[in-house]
Amino acid sequence: MKKMWKNVLSLLLALSLTVSITGCGSQEAAPGTENTQTEGAESAEASASDGEKIINIGVTDSLGGVNPFVIDQTEINKYAVGLMFLPLMELDSELNFVGMLADSITTEDNLNFTVHINDEAVWSDGTPVTAADVEFTVRRLASPVVNNTTLMLYAFEGIGDDGFVTAGAESIDGIQIIDDKTVRFTSKNPMALTTFENTYARYIHTLPKHIIEKFSEEELLTTEWFNKPDVINGPFYLTDYDNNHYISYEANRDYWKGAPKIDKLNIKIVDASQVLAGLQSGEIDITHHTLTAIPQKDYQSLEALENVDVVYGAPITNQSAFIQTANIKDARVRQALVYAIDRQKLVDELLQGHGEVVDGFLSSASPFFDESLSVIPYDPEKAKALLQEAGWDGSQTLRFYVNAGDTTFVNGAQVLVAQWAEVGIKVEVQTVDLATLMTIAGSTDYDIMAVQYTYAPVDPYPDIDWLLNGEGSWTGYLSDEIKTALADAQKTSDVDEITKLYSIVDKKVQEDVPMFSVYIISAQGAVSKRIKGAQPSAYGFFNDVQNWDISENA
């Protein structure tokens, strides 16, 4: 598994950072998004005048594209495609895996995963969705001609370590059709069921074999069919899009889970500074907890709006601080860095109470969270004692790199510096843009580095395995105890057992402090009171979009 997950970093980072830089501070506008709230997409007012029911979602992430063979798996791309082509499974708002195209995924050995397609699932032209559609989609995704590396398909038998099969391959050993509605995936190494579900079932968007098999592998990359597909298995047809401005859909009246109650759905890509005004005017009906960056400074103003309901999400976005252990070698000094800061005060004042303090990687939102694990308390005297034991003379100045785009944490970092100074640790903050921060993290030329990072609550394994992977990782930290616990967590699907194993990890991280959580953010979302059946959530947002509606009293 080690080789497999080392290759995962670029995707995980794209996913984690895309969904994380949302809860705090401001975010730079996507290119071309200025003053475009109504460009290319109907406004809410239009629905009243022409009788159509239209819902507008406001997001601050820009779209990468709508061709499943070309895009990466960042959230806005995933959901833009998923409205047309369902994933196999999805998480709901309570972090339970629920069927979308599939109705079950099972494993008895953590090597073979049996996926059963819902018997009711049909394409919009009436053709049944089959296991052959799933197999064909994955086989094309594994083509070296298509060259899509974002799904980490090298985990499965018959696919090379580069993630590809031979060009034009007609089968894959690790993906076998059992019957019309059943397909089996076989992995090369043990994999927890939650890892299969979260890493693959949520991101494989099954395509209609009977339509796309007419395209060569080369043509799949450029065909215009994906810009306006006429055969889908999801609730909405794509009608138009502009990567930096909008994505527009109309209802699939033949959707096998039931015709959508609204006629049109628009995803409006705006600058973070426009979200409040859009919600107030009605040009935005609903936001998404991780796709929509609502600035902290707007939280109270948004709460005061009479036409919307505010919903705070589960705490999932971690303001993580990584320590380069090669530079700060003594664990007692690293512990002192945590004892010296009042993290709860930061939650209360910076986040207005919308967050929590934990140690390690898992928040209370995770099904594997160990409630018995106490956090390192604010204890400056303990910090001083640890520094004295370690022989810290206070002459060294630590370099603390922070994302300049996260204005809330830029302010918070100054609080940390002041508290560290009180116990005798000199720290200098250096603010840089996110791209530069990632370069610095990869180079390991830092002492402390902070960035918002969302560890998948249901499957933190890949991130932890990378970050605590010794030389070449961000932290330079390696622990045999953690390696064993992580490996064992991939061999079982028992929630209690996995919880115990991740608790071992978090306790060891708390002891050695290669990283620490400054706080976990509960992001703000909002929904217009004219909308029924829809609520902001980080997960499960679109699961039942066919049931979204507009109040008759709107």
Structure tokens at 303: 């709460």
What is the rounded CA–CA span in Å between residue 460 and residue 545? 28
* 95 and 195 within one domain: yes
pLDDT for 32 beyond 70:
no
Extract the runs of DSSP E, i.e. beta strands, from 17-148: 54-59, 89-91, 97-99, 102-107, 112-117
pLDDT for 469 beyond 90:
no
Residue 137 domain-assigned (yes or no): yes
* 491 and 427 within one domain: yes
510 to 157, 414, 418: CA distances (angstroms): 37, 23, 23
* 260 and 202 within one domain: no
72-93 average pLDDT score: 94
pLDDT for 17 beyond 90:
no
- Edge-first strand order for the sheet with 515-521 is 355-356, 515-521, 317-323, 448-453, 397-403, 426-432
Could you tell me which of 500, 446, 439 has the C-alpha nearest to residue 323? 446
* 164 and 243 within one domain: no
* 199 and 330 within one domain: no
Three-state DSSP at 400 gives: strand
* 511 and 463 within one domain: yes
Tens of pLDDT, residue by residue over 116-133, are 999 999 999 999 999 999
What is the rounded CA–CA span in Å between residue 502 and residue 222? 44
| Domain CATH for 392 | 3.10.105.10
Predicted confidence band of residue 23 (pLDDT cuts 50, 70, 90):
very low
Could you tell me which of 57, 444, 441 has the C-alpha nearest to residue 269? 57
* 305 and 330 within one domain: no
What is the rounded CA–CA span in Å between residue 535 and residue 541? 7
| Domain CATH for 200 | 3.90.76.10
Tens of pLDDT, residue by residue over 203-237, are 999 999 999 999 999 999 999 999 999 999 999 99
What is the rounded CA–CA span in Å between residue 420 and residue 426? 7
Mean pLDDT check: name the lowest of 48-52, 205-209, 225-229, 549-553. Answer: 48-52
| Domain CATH for 271 | 3.40.190.10
Structure tokens at 181: 């509605």
What is the rounded CA–CA span in Å between residue 493 and residue 105? 12
Per-residue confidence (pLDDT) for residue 38, from 0 to 100: 42
How many independent structural domains does the chain possess?
Answer: 3
pLDDT for 26 beyond 60:
no
Per-residue confidence (pLDDT) for residue 554, from 0 to 100: 57
248-253 average pLDDT score: 98
Tens of pLDDT, residue by residue over 284-340, are 999 999 899 888 889 999 999 999 999 999 999 899 999 999 999 999 999 999 999
Residue 255 domain-assigned (yes or no): yes
What is the rounded CA–CA span in Å between residue 467 and residue 6? 10
- For the chain, what is the mean pLDDT? 90
Question: String of b and e for 135-174 (b: at least 16 CB within 10 Å)?
Answer: bbbbbbbbbbebebbbbbbbbbebbeeebbbeeeeeebeb
Per-residue confidence (pLDDT) for residue 20, from 0 to 100: 39
* 198 and 101 within one domain: yes
What is the rounded CA–CA span in Å between residue 447 and residue 441? 10
* 303 and 393 within one domain: no
Structure tokens at 336: 């002192």
Residue 284 domain-assigned (yes or no): yes
pLDDT for 33 beyond 60:
no
Structure tokens at 487: 């490996």
Residue 220 main-chain phi, psi, to 5 deg: -60, -25
Q: Are the C-beta atoms of 40 and 242 separated by less than 8 Å?
A: yes
12 to 9, 152, 191, 348: CA distances (angstroms): 5, 11, 17, 30
pLDDT for 15 beyond 60:
no
What is the rounded CA–CA span in Å between residue 243 and residue 247? 8
pLDDT for 553 beyond 50:
yes
Residue 365 domain-assigned (yes or no): yes
pLDDT for 13 beyond 70:
no
Structure tokens at 89: 């499974």
Structure tokens at 455: 């560890």
CB burial of residue 438 (10 Å; 0-12, 13-18, 19+): middle
* 271 and 353 within one domain: no
Structure tokens at 546: 């066919």
Extract the runs of DSSP E, i.e. beta strands, from 134-190: 175-179, 182-186
Tell me the residue type at 191. Answer: M
Q: Is pLDDT larger for residue 18 or for residue 216?
A: 216
* 419 and 321 within one domain: yes
Residue 552 CB partners (closer than 8 Å, separation 6+) = none
Residue 36 domain-assigned (yes or no): yes
Q: Is pLDDT larger for residue 157 or for residue 551?
A: 157
Q: Are the C-beta atoms of 297 and 509 separated by less than 8 Å?
A: no
Output the CA torsion sign for 250, 253, 255, 258: positive
Per-residue confidence (pLDDT) for residue 509, from 0 to 100: 96
CB burial of residue 367 (10 Å; 0-12, 13-18, 19+): middle
21-50 average pLDDT score: 43
Predicted confidence band of residue 463 (pLDDT cuts 50, 70, 90):
confident
Structure tokens at 466: 């990378």
Instruction: Kindly state the greatest CA–CA separation across the chain.
Output: 75
What pTM did the predictor assign?
Answer: 0.85
What is the rounded CA–CA span in Å between residue 74 and residue 63? 9
* 113 and 199 within one domain: yes
Mean pLDDT check: name the lowest of 12-21, 206-215, 335-344, 492-501. Answer: 12-21
Q: In the chain, pLDDT over 70 holds for what percent of residues? A: 91
414-439 average pLDDT score: 95
Residue 21 domain-assigned (yes or no): no
What is the rounded CA–CA span in Å between residue 346 and residue 405? 18
Per-residue confidence (pLDDT) for residue 169, from 0 to 100: 92
Range of the domain at 278: 31-84+234-313+524-554
What is the rounded CA–CA span in Å between residue 86 and residue 90? 9
